[in-house]
């Protein structure tokens, strides 16, 4: 799977580790920066990752900032993006199976690298349960919400 990967300075160290971890699992990385520890603004990198996923230049995206929260808020502003902040493997698996989350957000200052690797593995192995009516119905309601408020407050 091609994974768009981005981070601000708070997520830079974890992003660096993911750059080698993901190919080790057989995935291709679309590196969207930041590529150094200098201060960077998380919305810029969340935007790059979210846009790459929304435009189907990558199948899924991962954004890392200090807490994961800012990246998640920003990524969710891009239509077509369902970003989830996951710091446990249960949420990482379920957010794909139930919610079809296509961008994973991580807090580089919250989780250690080994837990982050487990979270990423659980998230990447999960598939949306598209045959189950209740999950499709709920996803369609989320999509309708996005459409309803796309151009108005
Ligand atoms: C940067 O200091 C920090 O605010 C950012 O990485 C992130 O945690 C925001 O949610």
**Residue 135, in any domain of the structure:** no
Question: Do 105 and 83 form a contact (C-beta atoms < 8 A)?
Answer: yes
Residue 103 lies in a domain: yes
In a domain, 145, yes or no: no
CA 123, distance to chain mean position in Å, is 9
Rg (CA), the chain: 15
Segments in the chain below pLDDT 50: none
Report if residue 115 sits inside a domain.
yes
pTM of the model: 0.97
Does 98 participate in catalysis according to the annotation? yes
Q: Which regions of the chain does DSSP assign to beta strands (E)?
A: 2-7, 28-31, 60-65, 83-85, 103-107
Calculate how far, in angstroms, residue 69's C-alpha sits from the geometric centre of ligand 1.
Answer: 8
The ligand 1 atom at the shortest distance from the C-alpha of residue 11 is: 6
pLDDT of residue 153: 65
Residue 73 maps to a domain: yes
Domain holding 80, by residue range, is 2-128
Residue whose CA is closest, atom 4 of ligand 1? 66
27 part of the active site: no
Domain with 83 in it: what CATH number? 3.40.1400.10
Q: Into how many domains does the chain fold? A: 1
- Catalytic-role residue among 65, 72, 95, 105: 65
């Amino acid at each position: 799977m091609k994974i768009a990967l981005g981070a601000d300075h708070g997520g830079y160290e974890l992003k660096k580790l993911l750059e080698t971890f993901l190919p080790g699992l057989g995935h291709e990385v679309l590196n969207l920066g930041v590529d150094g520890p200098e201060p960077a603004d998380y919305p810029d990198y969340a935007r790059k990752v979210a846009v790459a996923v929304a435009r189907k230049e990558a199948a899924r995206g991962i954004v890392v900032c200090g807490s994961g929260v800012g990246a998640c808020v920003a990524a969710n502003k891009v239509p077509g993006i369902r970003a989830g902040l996951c710091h446990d493997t249960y949420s990482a698996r379920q957010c794909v199976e139930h919610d079809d989350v296509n961008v994973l957000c991580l807090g580089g200052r919250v989780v250690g690298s080994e837990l982050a690797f487990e979270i990423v593995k659980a998230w990447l192995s999960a598939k949306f349960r598209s045959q189950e009516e209740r999950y499709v119905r709920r996803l369609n309601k989320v999509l309708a919400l996005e459409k309803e408020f796309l151009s108005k407050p």
